[in-house]
Amino acid sequence: MPRPADPHAREALLRAARSEFARQGIDRARVGDIAQKAGLSKGAFYLHFASKQDAFREMVQRFIGVLEEHAARRKEALRRLQDELQGAEPGRARAAGFEGECALDVEVLDALWRNREVLSVLDGASAEPHRPLVSAFRQRLRDMLIGDVAERQAEGGLRADLDPEAVADAVFGVYETFGHRMAGLREKPDLGGWARTIRTILYEGLLPPPGCTVPAHAQDVSRRRGD
């Protein structure tokens, strides 16, 4: 009976691959160097992965999973925050909402920081044969943002007169730029300061004015997207 693959070895190989891909690029990275960095044999690598591209694909899928898990937690946290602020004085509700969403933004930025090596690999993997996977990764994240914006517009949490795709592109662009910056940093930046900047410059303009009635057509925003 063949010996089952060691899950700890798989994790060690993924960590080593992430480091080597970020340092050398996927094409120049060598399976032997990845295995050696993980303290394993080259044969052990092929016991877990069919190729370097296979390891890269799993890295990207895991990263997407981290972001999707965060998106789900963020949605639930926003609902709890809205419930807590129900009926609160508008000025207090807006200030508390600002601070609450800043804290959630810090969580996103922290996830990007912890995965900055993956971001560095993605930056260098936009050429063939890796382009389809990178493009699919970016499109999946963009679709997540569009759906979130449209849903919040329909609920009255964001202005309903703005194109959700354009809003998602703006938000995605900010986070992608921050991700690029993180990939080249050695020391962790002030993520709280970054989050407050995002919230102040970008999101504040998306909020409905105090006392504004939600337009009757707000529900149509999400319906047009098929949500």
What pLDDT digit, counting tens, does each position of 17-66 carry? 999 998 888 889 999 999 999 999 999 999 999 999 899 889 888 988 88
133-170 burial code (b ≥16 CB/10 A, e <16): bbeebeeebbebbbbbbbbbbbbbbbbbeeebeebbee
| Region of 124 on the Ramachandran plot (φ > 0 left; ψ -120 to 50 alpha; else beta) | alpha
Q: Domain 52-224 falls in which CATH fold?
A: Tetracycline Repressor; domain 2 (1.10.357)
Q: H or E segment at 179?
A: helix 164-183
169 or 152, higher pLDDT: 169
Q: Give the residue extent of every domain in the chain.
A: 1-49, 52-224
The share of the chain scoring above pLDDT 90, in percent, equals 30
48-62, 99-113, 141-155: segment of lowest average pLDDT? 141-155
Residues making up the chain, counted from first to last: 227
Listed in order, strand segments (DSSP E) in 48-170 are: none
CATH architecture observed for domain 1-49: Orthogonal Bundle (1.10)
pTM for the model stands at 0.75
What's the confidence (pLDDT) of residue 1?
41
First to last CA, the chain: 49
Intrachain domains 1-49 and 52-224 with the same fold: no
117-130 burial code (b ≥16 CB/10 A, e <16): bbbbbbbbbeeeeb
| Site of tokens 């703006």 | 170
